Amino acid sequence: MGDGHLEIKRGAICFTQNSNETGNIERISQLVESIFNKNVSIYKHGENSCRVKFYSKSLLNWLKNNCYDKNGAKVIPWSVCDMNDSIIMSFLRGLIFTDGNVSSDKSEVVFTNTSDNLAQFVYLSLQRLGCNPTIGVSSPRLGKKVVSDGHMISGVKEVYSVRSSGYYSKSFIAWLENPYKTAKKSYIHGISVAKVTSTESREYSGKVYDVSVDGDDHSFCLPGAAIHNCGAGMVNTALVYKTMVGMAFAISRSGDWVDSSSAKVVGATATRMMSIKEKGVNLLDPTEGDPKQLREREAIVVYYRNLIHLVIDAIKSEFRKNSNTIELPDSIPWIISGGTAKAKNFLEFFKREFDKVKNDFPINISEIRMASDPLNDVAKGLLIAAMNE
């Protein structure tokens, strides 16, 4: 999980170490020979590195299928809550020896990696042991950079850093340096690391608080809680006539869904797709703009179209459920608002898509038009309604 990699074509499992890391090289060699009964070859690799290699087709296939995600990033195939403390401590020791370090005064342990899965594993494992870790993320390193023990890191991925200090961390650090001693019993301060086994929905009529955070998923975890924004990425719909609400509902897909869905299609991040979208995408002509981003713009247009039809279908379904309680005049206008509707030519694009299904739409629409201030009109209306109450 640290300095290892697979050579698929050769059927080899490799570990690359700095040449002066003789202790690690010897330890890896002994583990491979004692656990898998395989002989290792050790040879110079590059100017300052040494490579330990052995061959095992069955182990290589297991590692390939269980320890890498679809993008080739390393993942831990087990949950922290399914491992005992002894295994977790040994696992952490290997990860910290390869992609981490202990401060010179033996007060802090640090793990640095571009894999969010490995970083989360280290964070939760340290919590499980009673430590008080923090996790942070920084922008990709530009060029090559030397980190602890002469390791070289370069690339374009975000870098995750897990740090832990304090009384129980010092006890763990002492064990890292001498694992033959027994670590002090940890005290977890009421924290429990566990897997969510099921979820359920319940009707609720009280207040709901939307805790907003940056990121593609609008979700985050902290000790004892997992939070997901209730309001992010939704299309809110209301049928209103002369201030009377006939029906109101929301679907959990909106601009964020366009970003994440189109990102999966082109192999990009939702953040990148959001950036391209906000720079301006002509929904009627995606060829307009940087030719290098044509594929991304085309994907965004496809999911804008899908989003429009999802909303139309949802309105049809909800109206038919409530049609016996709603009385409408011959036709009503359809007003569009919100940040997602600010894409170039969105109104014309919406009208074209609606024309394809209007014969099957249960409500007579007199016109489709944009709100005068799409980004703020809904908030203004809510303010007026609150003041009237």
Instruction: State the CATH number of the domain containing residue 383.
Output: 3.30.420.40
Within-domain flag for 218: no
pLDDT at 53: 93
Q: Is 292 exposed, middle or buried (0-12, 13-18, 19+ CB in 10 A)?
A: exposed
Within-domain flag for 46: yes
Alpha carbons 363 and 330: distance in angstroms, whole number:
9
Q: For residues 27 and 77, state if they share a domain.
A: no
Do 166 and 130 form a contact (C-beta atoms < 8 A)?
A: no
Gyration radius from the chain CA atoms: 28
Type of residue found at 146: V
Domain residues for 355? 229-388
Within-domain flag for 211: no
Nearest by Cα to 296 from 254, 263, 343: 263
Please identify which residue in the block is written with the tokens 């990699």: 5
Chosen domain end from 44, 67, 90: 67
Residue-wise over 150-178: b if at least 16 C-beta within 10 A, else e? ebeeeeeeebbbbbbbeebbbbbbebbee
pLDDT at 354: 92
CATH of the domain at 38: 3.10.28.10
Q: For residues 57 and 78, state if they share a domain.
A: no
Q: For residues 337 and 364, state if they share a domain.
A: yes
Q: What are phi and psi of 184, to 5 degrees?
A: -65, 145
- Chain-centroid distance of CA 194 in Å reads 19
Do 76 and 121 form a contact (C-beta atoms < 8 A)?
A: yes
Q: For residues 58 and 5, state if they share a domain.
A: yes
- Chain-centroid distance of CA 163 in Å reads 21
**Total domains in the fold of the chain:** 3
Q: For residues 59 and 76, state if they share a domain.
A: no
Q: For residues 258 and 372, state if they share a domain.
A: yes
| Cα 48–Cα 49–Cα 51 angle in degrees, nearest 5 | 160
Within-domain flag for 180: yes
pLDDT at 190: 45
Q: For residues 152 and 246, state if they share a domain.
A: no
Chosen domain end from 38, 67, 96: 67
Within-domain flag for 220: no
Within-domain flag for 199: no
Phi-psi region of 152 (alpha: psi -120 to 50; beta: other; left: phi over 0): beta
Within-domain flag for 360: yes
Alpha carbons 118 and 74: distance in angstroms, whole number:
7
Instruction: Supply 344's token pair.
Output: 């170039």
Chosen domain end from 48, 67, 86: 67
Q: For residues 245 and 375, state if they share a domain.
A: yes
Please identify which residue in the block is written with the tokens 């304090």: 166
Q: For residues 244 and 290, state if they share a domain.
A: yes
> From first to last of its 389 residues, what are the pLDDT tens digits of the chain?
888 899 988 889 999 888 888 888 888 899 899 999 998 999 888 888 889 999 999 999 999 999 988 878 888 888 887 888 888 888 898 888 888 888 888 889 999 988 888 888 898 888 888 888 888 887 765 555 555 445 555 556 778 889 998 877 888 888 888 877 655 555 454 455 666 777 777 776 666 665 555 554 555 555 455 665 555 567 888 888 777 777 887 777 778 888 888 888 888 888 888 888 878 889 999 899 888 889 999 999 999 999 999 889 988 888 888 777 777 777 888 999 888 888 889 999 999 999 998 888 888 889 999 988 888 887 888 788 778 77
Within-domain flag for 87: yes
Q: What are phi and psi of 52, to 5 degrees?
A: -110, 125
Q: For residues 135 and 268, state if they share a domain.
A: no
Q: For residues 89 and 163, state if they share a domain.
A: yes
Please identify which residue in the block is written with the tokens 């301006």: 280
Q: For residues 127 and 269, state if they share a domain.
A: no
